[in-house]
Amino acid sequence: MKLLVVEDDLRIADIVRRTLAEAGYAVDVVHSAPAGVEAFEIETYDLVVLDLMLPGLPRGGMDVCDRIRDLNKNIPILMLTALDSARNRVEGLDAGADDYLVKPFHLVELLARVRALLRRAPRALSPVLHAQGVTLEPATRTATRAGRSIALTAKEYAVLEYLMSNAGQIISSSELIDHAWDSNYEGFSNVVQTYIRYLRQKLTLPGEVEIIETRRGSGYLIAADR
């Protein structure tokens, strides 16, 4: 899942980004209200972590929240603020935020709030995915093949989910990086190849057919069931 963090405090933004990334989410970070609006207008996200006190627009995070709600009524918005008054909380919720977290906050609580919001979001009701004998349940983030449970890391799950959601289509490495990591990923170039290898090792026992195909020069493919 891909998250947008809009936070002008660079230190807090980096801590939140690293915490969410370590939990398996792809994370984009921007540092002003206009940048938050622009990012949401050009990218697709599953959840927004939004600071209330942002530069660039008269009402800061409130204006960003209003614009996001104009574009998407359902996406979860977790609002962050240093203002801990009932009036501020009510204003944030009335603007369209789904939850409210007051700074300073514990990172474990941030992750718990994110998980709870994603479970309640429409995407959490996605149907079970089936392809080539593998079953993937997005609501519980579990995978099985031939009746056996397959333990996946957060990144392995994200890669497999995207391939199975697009079964029958060739998916490029850059598409997988955009989905499972983030648009600013600058790590090692063969990260997708590495995770495809991990998945193949977990999904395929001796004698079983390999379900992830490599199309040289194009990307990877899981064939759709007929």
More confident residue, 206 or 87: 206
Half-sphere exposure of 170 (CA within 13 A, CB side): 7
pLDDT at site 137: 84
**Model confidence at 17, in pLDDT bands (50, 70, 90)?**
very high
Which tens digits make up the pLDDT trace of 157-190? 888 988 998 999 999 988 888 777 755 555 556 8
With cut-offs at 50, 70 and 90, classify the pLDDT of residue 92: low
- How far lies 70's CA from each of 37, 124, 136, 199, in Å? 11, 22, 33, 39
Q: How far apart are CA 187 and CA 8, in angstroms?
A: 24
C-alpha span between 61 and 81 (Å, rounded): 9
**pLDDT tens for each residue of 19-60:** 999 888 889 999 999 999 999 998 889 999 999 989 999 999
pLDDT of residue 124: 47
105-150 pLDDT, tens digit each: 999 999 999 998 988 766 544 578 899 999 988 767 789 998 899 9
Alpha helices for the chain (secondary structure H)? 10-22, 33-42, 61-71, 86-94, 107-120, 154-165, 173-180, 191-203
- Would the pTM count as exceeding 0.85? no
The segment with the largest mean pLDDT, out of 35-39, 85-89, 206-210, is 35-39
6 or 93: which leads in pLDDT: 6
pLDDT given for residue 75 in this prediction? 92
Mean pLDDT confidence for 98-104: 89
